[in-house]
C-alpha cells in the first residue's frame, strides 16, 4: 500500500453560527477564490485504551468523503504537523485494520496495545481554494459544521462550527507562510472568530470523557522526592527514553542521522544507569541495561556502515593519484552503502520485535516506580577511598608519541596529599556514623567516580601507546575505552547540571570535545578495518589490492592527526573538574 506525506500548517478558529465569512481576498497574495467545494466527511479516530496517541498529540483516523479519503496520521513537529495518508483498504474479517505503513510511525508509542475506535467526527465542510494572480493555490479555507461522538465512558455528542486556514503550495514551513497565518488570524478574529482553545477536532469531541481513560505509564509521575538525587537521575532517564521513542519512526523512515541519534539515546540511558548505580537499585536495572546494550549493538552496526560509507566517498573525492583501478573504485563506492541498507533492515526488524517493545514497557514501569536506594551514598571500594578527589597530572600523548609513562599512583602536590589524608581519615568512621549527603554532593560523588575512571583509562592509553608488545588494535582500543569514559562523564555532567546547583557546563563541553577528538580517531580505525575486509575479499577474487592499501594508510594518517588535539582536550577536562573537586573537598 502506497502512502503520501505532507507538512500540514494550519490555524483553527472557533466561530458562532451567525458569523459571516470575511472577504478573504483582502489577504496578501490572494487574488481570487479559485474553487469552492462542499464535502460530507466522516472520520473514525483510533487509539489505545489509555489514549497513548492522544496524549502524544498524534491523531490516527479513517476518513471517508472528500478528495483525500483514506487513513490519515498526523504527527506534531516544530513547523507544523506531518500528515501521512494511506488508502482506505478493505476490511479483514469484517474489521478495518490500521495499515502497516502507518502503524510503524507509532509503534514505539502504542507497542503491542490494540487500537480501537474512540470517537467519530462528522463534518459538513465548505472548502475555498485561495489562489494568487497566476491561479496557484496559496491556502485552503474551510468552514466546518461538525457533529462529534465520543465512544469513551461518559462521552456524548457535541456540535460546533469552526474555521480552518491551511497553507498550500510552497508556503508550509516558510517565513512567508508564517506571515500569511498571522495575517489570516487577524482578519478572522476581526470578523468575530476566536482562536480555537482545542488543538484538534478529536480533543473537542472527547471533551471531559478523556479523563475516564487510564493514564499511559509513560506519563505517570514517579514516587521519588522532587529535590532528591533520584529525581535528577529519573529526569535524565526519562529524557532519553522520550528521545528513544521519538527517533523510532525516524529510524524506520531512514531519516538522516536518525540511527546515530537513537544510538546516542540508547547509550546515554545505559550510561546513566551505570554511572548512577546506587541511587537507583534493584535487579531490573541489570536486565534493562543488558537490553539497552543489545539494542545499541544492533544500531552500532548500521551507524558504523553509515559513517564508513561517508568517509570512503570523501576519500574517493580527494584521491588524485590515479592509482585506484575501476574495480577498487566500484567496491569503495558501493559496498558500504549495500552494507548499511542490510544493517538498516536488521535495525527495523529489531524495532518490530517483541523484545524491543518489552524493553520500552520495562523502561516505562521502571521510571514510573523507580527502585530508589534508601540512602544513596556512593559505595566506594577501599582502593578508591584513597583518592576521593583525583587531581593528578598524567602524561599526555601527542600524534607522534603518547608513550610517556604517567606514574600517577602517588599525589604530586601538597593539595593532593592533603586530600588523600582526608580520604584516609574518612575511612576511620563507619558508614553508620556518616551523615546523609545533600543532592549536590551525592551527584558530585558519582561524577567523581566517573572522572576517576576516565583518568585511569587515560593513563593506560598513554602508557601503552608505544608498547610494541601489543598489537596496533590493542593500543588503539585503549583510546577507544578513553572515549567511552569521556562519553559517560559527559552524560553524567549533563544530568547533574540540569537538576542540581553543580556547575557542570564546562565539564560537559570538555568531555564533548574529547569525544569529538577520539570519535574522529575511532572512525578512522573502523574505516581501516573495513578496508582490510574489502582487500581480503578482493584478493580472493584475484583483484589488485594496492588501492585498498593506499586508502588504509591515508586513514591511518587521518587518525593520527586527530590525536594532535588529545593532550589539550584532556587538560580541559581536568580544569573543568576542579570546581567539583572543591565541592567534594568541602563536604569531606
Q: Is the pLDDT of residue 409 over 60?
A: no
Kindly indicate the confidence band of residue 381, based on its pLDDT and cuts at 50, 70 and 90.
Answer: very low
Q: Is the pLDDT of residue 413 over 70?
A: no
Average pLDDT of the residues in 73-95: 90
Q: At what angle do helices 354-368 and 229-252 cross, to 10 degrees?
A: 150
Question: Which residues are bridge partners to 92 per DSSP?
Answer: 95
Q: Which three cell numbers stand for residue 192?
A: 468575530
Residue with cell 483582502: 26
Q: Is the pLDDT of residue 143 over 70?
A: yes
d(CA 404, CA 466): 9
Q: Is the pLDDT of residue 392 over 50?
A: no
Contact by Cβ (8 Å): 44, 108:
no
Comparing 150-154, 311-315, 416-420, the range with the smallest average pLDDT is: 416-420
pLDDT (0 to 100) of residue 587: 65
Contact by Cβ (8 Å): 270, 392:
no
3-state helix, strand, coil in the chain (%, to 5): 55, 15, 30
d(CA 75, CA 231): 30
Residue with cell 489562489: 131
Mean pLDDT across the chain: 88
Q: Is the pLDDT of residue 423 over 90?
A: no
d(CA 414, CA 428): 22
Q: What is the DSSP string of 457-516?
A: HHHHHHHTTT-TTS-HHHHHHHHHHHHHHHHHHHHHHHHHHHHSS---HHHHHHHHHHHH
pLDDT (0 to 100) of residue 424: 46
Kindly indicate the confidence band of residue 222, based on its pLDDT and cuts at 50, 70 and 90.
Answer: confident
Please state the length of the chain.
588
d(CA 253, CA 251): 5
Question: Which residues are bridge partners to 81 per DSSP?
Answer: 8, 76
d(CA 141, CA 129): 7
pLDDT (0 to 100) of residue 582: 79
d(CA 310, CA 307): 5
Nearest to 194 by CA among 16, 26, 9, 20: 16
CATH of domain 4-212: 2.40.320.10
Average pLDDT of the residues in 564-571: 97
Whole-model pTM: value is: 0.82
Average pLDDT of the residues in 539-551: 96
Kindly indicate the confidence band of residue 320, based on its pLDDT and cuts at 50, 70 and 90.
Answer: confident
Question: What pLDDT digit, counting tens, does each position of 148-167 carry?
Answer: 999 999 999 999 999 999 99
Query: Distance of CA 12 to CAs 64, 182, 294, 298, Å?
Result: 21, 12, 45, 43
The CATH class given to the 240-368 domain equals mainly alpha
Say if strands 10-14 and 194-195 run parallel, antiparallel, or are unpaired: antiparallel
Cα distance from N-terminal residue to C-terminal residue, the chain: 65
**What percent of the chain clears pLDDT 70, i.e. is strictly above it?**
89
Question: What pLDDT digit, counting tens, does each position of 252-282 carry?
Answer: 999 999 999 999 999 999 999 988 888 888 8
d(CA 438, CA 446): 13
d(CA 324, CA 548): 8
Query: Distance of CA 159 to CAs 47, 118, 363, Å?
Result: 22, 17, 40
Kindly indicate the confidence band of residue 400, based on its pLDDT and cuts at 50, 70 and 90.
Answer: very low
Amino acid at each position: 500500500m502506497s502512502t503520501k506525506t505532507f507538512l500540514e500548517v494550519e490555524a483553527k478558529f472557533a466561530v458562532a453560527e451567525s458569523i459571516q465569512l470575511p472577504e478573504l481576498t483582502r489577504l496578501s497574495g490572494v487574488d481570487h477564490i479559485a474553487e469552492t467545494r462542499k464535502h460530507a466527511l466522516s472520520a473514525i479516530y483510533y487509539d489505545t485504551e489509555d489514549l497513548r496517541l492522544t496524549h502524544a498529540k498524534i491523531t490516527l483516523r479513517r476518513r471517508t468523503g472528500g478528495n483525500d479519503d483514506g487513513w490519515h496520521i498526523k504527527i506534531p513537529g516544530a513547523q507544523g504537523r506531518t500528515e501521512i495518508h494511506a488508502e482506505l483498504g478493505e476490511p479483514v474479517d469484517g474489521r478495518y485494520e490500521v495499515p502497516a505503513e502507518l502503524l510503524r510511525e507509532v509503534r514505539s508509542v502504542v507497542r503491542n496495545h490494540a487500537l480501537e475506535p474512540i470517537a467519530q467526527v462528522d463534518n459538513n465542510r465548505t472548502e475555498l481554494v485561495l489562489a494568487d494572480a497566476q491561479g496557484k493555490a496559496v491556502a485552503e479555507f474551510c468552514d466546518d459544521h461538525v457533529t462529534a461522538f465520543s465512544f469513551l465512558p461518559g462521552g456524548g455528542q457535541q456540535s460546533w462550527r469552526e474555521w480552518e486556514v491551511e497553507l498550500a503550495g510552497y508556503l508550509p514551513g516558510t517565513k512567508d507562510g508564517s506571515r500569511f497565518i498571522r495575517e489570516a488570524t487577524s482578519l478572522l478574529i476581526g470578523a468575530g472568530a476566536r482562536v480555537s482553545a482545542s488543538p484538534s477536532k478529536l480533543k473537542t469531541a472527547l471533551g471531559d470523557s478523556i479523563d475516564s481513560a487510564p493514564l499511559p505509564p509513560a506519563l505517570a509521575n514517579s514516587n521519588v522526592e522532587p529535590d532528591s538525587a533520584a529525581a535528577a537521575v529519573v529526569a535524565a532517564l526519562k529524557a532519553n527514553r522520550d528521545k528513544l521513542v521519538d527517533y523510532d519512526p525516524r529510524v524506520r523512515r531512514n531519516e538522516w542521522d536518525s540511527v546515530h541519534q537513537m544510538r546516542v539515546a540508547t547509550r546515554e540511558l545505559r550510561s546513566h544507569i551505570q554511572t548512577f548505580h546506587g541511587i537507583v537499585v534493584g535487579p531490573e536495572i541489570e536486565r534493562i541495561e543488558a537490553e539497552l546494550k543489545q539494542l545499541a549493538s544492533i544500531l552500532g552496526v548500521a551507524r558504523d556502515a553509515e559513517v564508513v560509507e561517508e568517509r570512503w566517498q570523501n576519500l574517493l573525492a580527494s584521491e588524485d593519484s590515479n592509482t585506484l583501478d575501476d574495480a577498487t573504485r566500484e567496491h569503495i563506492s558501493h559496498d558500504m552503502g549495500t552494507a548499511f541498507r542490510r544493517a538498516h533492515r536488521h535495525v527495523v526488524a529489531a524495532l518490530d520485535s517483541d523484545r524491543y517493545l518489552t524493553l520500552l514497557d520495562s523502561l516505562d514501569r521502571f521510571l514510573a516506580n523507580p527502585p530508589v536506594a534508601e540512602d544513596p551514598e556512593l559505595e566506594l571500594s577501599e582502593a578508591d577511598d584513597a583518592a576521593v578527589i583525583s587531581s593528578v597530572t598524567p602524561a599526555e600523548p601527542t600524534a607522534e608519541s603518547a608513550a610517556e609513562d604517567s606514574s600517577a599512583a602517588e599525589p604530586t602536590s601538597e593539595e593532593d596529599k592533603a586530600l588523600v589524608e582526608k580520604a584516609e581519615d574518612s575511612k576511620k568512621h563507619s558508614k553508620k556514623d556518616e551523615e546523609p549527603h545533600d543532592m549536590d554532593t551525592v551527584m558530585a560523588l558519582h561524577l567523581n567516580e566517573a572522572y576517576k575512571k576516565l583518568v585511569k583509562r587515560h593513563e593506560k592509553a598513554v602508557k601503552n601507546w608505544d608498547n610494541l608488545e601489543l598489537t596496533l588494535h590493542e593500543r588503539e582500543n585503549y583510546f577507544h575505552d578513553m572515549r567511552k569514559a569521556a562519553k559517560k562523564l559527559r552524560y553524567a555532567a549533563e544530568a547533574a547540571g540540569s537538576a542540581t546547583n553543580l556547575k557542570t557546563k564546562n565539564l560537559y563541553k570538555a568531555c564533548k570535545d574529547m569525544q569529538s577528538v577520539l570519535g574522529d580517531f575511532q572512525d578512522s580505525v573502523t574505516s581501516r578495518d573495513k578496508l582490510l575486509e574489502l582487500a581480503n575479499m578482493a584478493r580472493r577474487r584475484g583483484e589488485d589490492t594496492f588501492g585498498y592499501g593506499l586508502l588504509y594508510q591515508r586513514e591511518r594518517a587521518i587518525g593520527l592527526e586527530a590525536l594532535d588535539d588529545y593532550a589539550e582536550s584532556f587538560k580541559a577536562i581536568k580544569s573543568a573538574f576542579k570546581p567539583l573537586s572543591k565541592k567534594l573537598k568541602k563536604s569531606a
